[in-house]
Amino acid sequence: MASSCFHAFRFRRSKSKPLKISSSSKSHLNSEMESLERKRFDSLESWSMILESENVETWEASKEDQEEWTADLSQLFIGNKFASGAHSRIYRGIYKQRAVAVKMVRIPTQKEETRALLEQQFKCEVALLSRLFHPNIVQFIAACKKPPVYCIITEYMSQGTLRMYLNKKEPYSLSTETILRLALDISRGMEYLHSQGVIHRDLKSSNLLLNDEMRVKVADFGTSCLETQCQETKGNKGTYRWMAPEMIKEKHCTRKVDVYSFGIVLWELTTAFASLSRNDPCASCICCSREERAASTAC
């Protein structure tokens, strides 16, 4: 059944040679290449071409590149995409006969700063997820890194995000029992996270996932850090509408920033509304006051 619905995970080996260009046209050419690369990756079929090509060899990590968490790509099959972001897509898949979610991150070749940031987020997320084990933390399974895409494989959460669940509800329609059950799941996951010395820094309803039993699990650790290593939050690594004031001001943060975000999530559970709609004057003021940083942060 898997073979009819999913395709073997394959990487395309690039055979292109470096272009020899004059210094005067380098900037213009880089801009054009960046535009073409974005269009190629944003097209509906481009990622499937990288993953599904039958004319290239399946990529295998060399022994020196392998980590304990390195995925066996011969056991990975990719299904339909069900979510996407600025640099990532999430697919349903099967890994070693188990339903999984496959988060694939596109690593740009033209923007050095963006590439370095995404690589660091990937490294951080894998390092943290691979050591976390709790019923209310999404379970890490495997990962691999091979430009132009990196991937992280986790358990598949069939009911999607808490935000998707709330979007289907009428305002103030959740029962007190349901609110408490969901809130306790989140708090237990966050309590465990803090006990491990980890600050999430981007706790929000779209980073909270629901399984078949409607239990909540905390996910997406790309901006997380160890509390002992968290410096000033340069670049505002969270999401404005859930972000504590000290993070907006790019000051040193502690686990208290997660407590603040948890309070916003509790408000979402109570009202079923999204925190500060995109057209909300308060959200607009925050974004305008940080105009130079808002472009890289959801607002």
Per-residue pLDDT reduced to its tens digit, 119-149: 888 988 999 999 999 999 999 999 988 777 8
**Whole-prediction pTM value?**
0.73
The total of other beta-carbon atoms located within 10 Å of residue 206's CB is 18
Tokens of 60: 């295998």
Instruction: State which amino acid sits at residue 178.
Output: T
Range scoring the smallest mean pLDDT among 31-35, 92-96, 118-122, 168-172: 31-35
How far is 79 from 101, CA to CA, in rounded Å?
Answer: 9
Q: Which alpha helices (H) appear in the chain, and where do they start and end?
A: 2-5, 23-42, 46-52, 112-129, 162-167, 176-195, 245-248, 256-271, 281-289, 291-294
How far is 136 from 181, CA to CA, in rounded Å?
Answer: 12
Give the residue with greater pLDDT, 216 vs 232.
216
213-234 average pLDDT score: 84
β 7-8/88-95 pair status: unpaired
For residue 56, the model assigns a pLDDT of 35
Catalytic site residue from 202, 212, 258, 280:
202
For residue 158, the model assigns a pLDDT of 93
- Domains of the chain plus CATH, in order, are 61-156 (3.30.200.20), 162-294 (1.10.510.10)
Q: Which of 8-17, 205-214, 279-288 is most confident?
A: 205-214
Per-residue pLDDT reduced to its tens digit, 75-109: 989 888 888 877 788 999 999 999 999 999 888 87
Q: Is the pLDDT of residue 192 over 50?
A: yes
How far is 263 from 72, CA to CA, in rounded Å?
Answer: 40
β 88-95/216-218 pair status: unpaired
**Any bridge partners for residue 37, and if so which?**
none
For residue 187, the model assigns a pLDDT of 98
Q: Is the pLDDT of residue 295 over 50?
A: no
45-60 average pLDDT score: 45
Per-residue pLDDT reduced to its tens digit, 247-274: 888 888 899 999 999 999 999 999 998 7
How far is 237 from 248, CA to CA, in rounded Å?
Answer: 9
Q: Is the pLDDT of residue 18 over 70?
A: no
- Determine whether 258 is an active site residue: no
